[in-house]
Amino acid sequence: MDKFSIQGGARLEGEVSTSGSKNAALPVLAACLLTEEPVVLHRIPKVRDIGTMKKLLRHAGAELEELGNGTVRVQACAIRKPEAPYDLVKTMRASSLVLGPLAARTGRARVSLPGGCAIGARPINLHVAGLEQLGARLEQSHGYIEAKVEGRLQGTQIRFERITVTGTEDLLMAATLAEGETVLENAAREPEVTDLAELLTKMGARIEGAGTSAIRVQGVEKLHGAEHTIIADRIEAGTFLMAGAITGGDLVVRDCQPEHLEELTAKMRQAGATITEEGPGALRVRGSGRLRAVDATTAEYPGFATDLQAQYMALMTQAQGISFITETIFENRFMHVLELARMGANIRIEGSQAIVAGPSPLSGANVIASDLRASASLVLAALVADGETVVDRVYHIDRGYEKIEEKLAAAGARIKRAGSK
């Protein structure tokens, strides 16, 4: 099991480049199941979760060809096996993204229920309820959800009782092939949803309102092939901006989309970091060395991203004052707190709120990553801790960050990957 060894104290300088968005790539890859024609996708990041999604597509019968430099060609001529098996789903809950496409394309889908997850129960009841409203019959047996569709899915009005990103994506994909009109109300507005809708539209889908909370779809008989470049990974870019700020460095984050990071950059500026646009798709962050505590409450897009909460908490351990960080999306997304405390952070949890008192001098320690974004939080803390930090179980971080240690080292961080001894 790989580990990271990080010597704290280096200021990050120079530049890092952002990869394509993991959370855009996952639904976009699943969308390839909706057509028998080839789909060519650019800027697909090489991270573990994408590898899992590629295995899922091959398992269903799609052919994938790696064309190099993040370009993938997917062609699902025939769906041999409309199924997402447990051994793949247990490693990536976003496998539920194939449920809608398989049901819409083949009239059948058998998807393992995702198990628990470190950050919360994360059920997929809203995906299931939406598919039932589209006319599928779903049953649960032996840990699997089995969907059966007589004829075609039937367009309808679906109102999500709570905003769900992959739930919106799953049902948006299903609706593109349903008969008639579907309206998704209280839909997620994340940029990754909009990016998926752009690909689907290129494939011949008829979609209005993507990026708003009401998405209207006119179903079509078939979708055709397309070519698409996915958006930049806003969470990776945000993580790097905070790495630049926490080390008091001077870092340019390239190939990102500043318009997707406005909530974070506004908060970081309020905290005293200097963030400027350095030309198209580039943000420059300069840490002032004296950060001020600023509260954050996570919310669905365009609110403060829950996927940046753990990283922001690490930043606030170095800010002067008390910051209140409230997590509203997941019920257990403070796994990083105990590890940060072991490094010397002063954080108290009260329900869904973490109260951070700073600045606290951090000291290097052996820490364990528990989930993808908690791992990123520990790396940020390690960059400013005194001495060496060893982060164990970095497979968590490899799920969503492409070569993070190489990118950070190129900007001056003293970080290296060590295989398990």
With contacts defined by CB under 6 A, name the span among 56-64, 118-126, 284-292, 388-396 that binds ligand EPZ.
Answer: 118-126
403 binding ligand EPZ? (CB under 6 A)? no
- Nearest distance from residue 27's CB to ligand EPZ, in Å? 7
Nearest to 123 by CA among 148, 145, 156: 145
Nearer Cβ to ligand EPZ (243/362): 243
- Nearest distance from residue 144's CB to ligand EPZ, in Å? 16
75 binding ligand EPZ? (CB under 6 A)? no
DSSP 128: H
With contacts defined by CB under 6 A, name the span among 3-11, 161-169, 252-260, 357-365 that binds ligand EPZ.
Answer: 161-169
Nearer Cβ to ligand EPZ (182/377): 377
The pair of structure tokens assigned to 415 is 């970080």
Sheet of strand 388-392: strand arrangement: 366-368, 388-392, 3-7, 414-418
120 binding ligand EPZ? (CB under 6 A)? yes
- Nearest distance from residue 122's CB to ligand EPZ, in Å? 4
Question: Segment 122-141, which members bind ligand EPZ (CB under 6 A)?
Answer: 122-127
Q: Identity (one letter) of the amino acid at 347? A: I
379 binding ligand EPZ? (CB under 6 A)? no
Residue where the block lists tokens 């709120």: 353
- Nearest distance from residue 300's CB to ligand EPZ, in Å? 7
Nearer Cβ to ligand EPZ (233/405): 233
With contacts defined by CB under 6 A, name the span among 38-46, 160-168, 195-203, 246-254 that binds ligand EPZ.
Answer: 160-168
How big is the CA angle at 228 (ends 226 and 229), to the nearest 5 degrees?
Answer: 170
The pair of structure tokens assigned to 83 is 């199924």
* Number of neighbouring beta carbons within 10 Å of residue 56: 26
The pair of structure tokens assigned to 339 is 């590890």
Coil, helix or strand at residue 73: strand
Active site residue 256: no
From the candidates 32, 77, 117, 256, which is the catalytic residue? Answer: 117
166 binding ligand EPZ? (CB under 6 A)? yes
Q: How far is C-alpha 322 from the chain's CA centre?
A: 28
Nearer Cβ to ligand EPZ (20/358): 20
DSSP 97: G
Nearer Cβ to ligand EPZ (35/166): 166
CA distance 47 to 201: 26
191 binding ligand EPZ? (CB under 6 A)? no
CA distance 233 to 166: 16
Nearer Cβ to ligand EPZ (131/251): 131
How big is the CA angle at 156 (ends 152 and 162), to the nearest 5 degrees?
Answer: 120
Among the listed residues 146, 195, 236, 307, the single contact to ligand EPZ using CB under 6 A:
307
23 binding ligand EPZ? (CB under 6 A)? yes
Q: Is the dihedral of CA 151, 155, 157, 159 positive or negative?
A: positive
Q: For the chain, first and last CA: distance in Å?
A: 9
Q: What does the binding site for ligand EPZ look like in residue numbers (CB under 6 A)? A: 23, 26, 94, 120-127, 162, 164-167, 192, 306-307, 329-330, 372-373, 400
Q: Tell me which residues are annotated as active site.
A: 117
